[in-house]
């Protein structure tokens, strides 16, 4: 019964969330669109001509935002490649690859897509991925750290030297270690908590800019 009450309370809060309503009004597939929009307004991450990879892209709201910023006079000036293990409804001009980006076959597809586009490395990697959380903090932080690790490893492989990586993470017992792991890879590391991220949520975003030379 308590679980039912909790679910009803969550649904009620979600439906009355101003960002959920805004997303519906503006045609975004999820309220998460406003998190990226706010961070981008602050950091100017997305610029015309860029090649952007959106990891764990489904349902596609971050790809929508990236596309919106790259479009000028109805034409996309740049490229967006979205990857997810779950299907995603098409976003015009976005190249979607279905599969796990840790698998060679999926990475080969991405490499072929980049070659077709005449691009070798990417300017920006976005990741709004989050693991399924159990409520057990130690287990959850290990899962969160793992998701950040695989996004960081991907970025190290595919980013241009002056590129950037934006990932979702969560405050908790292992947060400082995640930040430290980013500092070993990036010249600049910043923590961002957009207004669209719920106050009660431990969710936050980690931004790494400019790769350090690999030893």
Catalytic residue annotation:
168
Which two tokens mark 140?
């959850």
Is 60 in a helix, a strand, or coil?
coil
The residue count of the chain comes to 215
Which two tokens mark 111?
């490499």
CA–CA gap between residue 126 and residue 86 (Å, rounded): 17
CA angle 200, 202, 208 (to 5 degrees): 135
Whether the CB-CB separation of 207 and 189 falls below 8 Å is answered with: yes
The residue assigned the tokens 């292992």 is 174
The residue assigned the tokens 């999926």 is 106
């Amino acid at each position: 019964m308590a679980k039912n009450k909790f679910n009803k309370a969550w649904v009620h809060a979600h439906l009355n969330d101003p960002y959920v309503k805004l997303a519906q009004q503006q045609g975004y597939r999820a309220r998460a669109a406003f998190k990226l929009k706010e961070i981008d307004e602050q950091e100017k991450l997305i610029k015309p001509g860029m090649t952007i990879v959106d990891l764990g892209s489904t349902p596609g709201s971050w790809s929508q935002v990236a596309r919106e910023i790259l479009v000028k006079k109805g034409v996309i000036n740049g490229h967006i490649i979205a990857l997810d293990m779950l299907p995603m409804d098409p976003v015009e001009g976005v190249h979607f690859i279905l599969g796990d980006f840790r698998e060679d076959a999926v990475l080969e597809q991405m490499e072929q897509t980049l070659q077709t586009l005449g691009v070798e490395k990417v300017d920006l990697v976005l990741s709004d991925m989050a693991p399924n959380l159990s409520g057990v903090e130690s287990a959850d932080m290990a899962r969160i750290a793992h998701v950040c690790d695989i996004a960081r490893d991907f970025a190290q492989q595919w980013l241009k030297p002056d590129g950037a990586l934006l990932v979702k993470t969560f405050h908790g017992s292992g947060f400082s270690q995640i930040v430290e792991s980013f500092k070993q890879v990036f010249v600049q590391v910043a923590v961002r908590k957009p207004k669209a991220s719920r106050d009660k949520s431990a969710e936050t975003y980690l931004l790494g800019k400019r790769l350090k030379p690999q030893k």
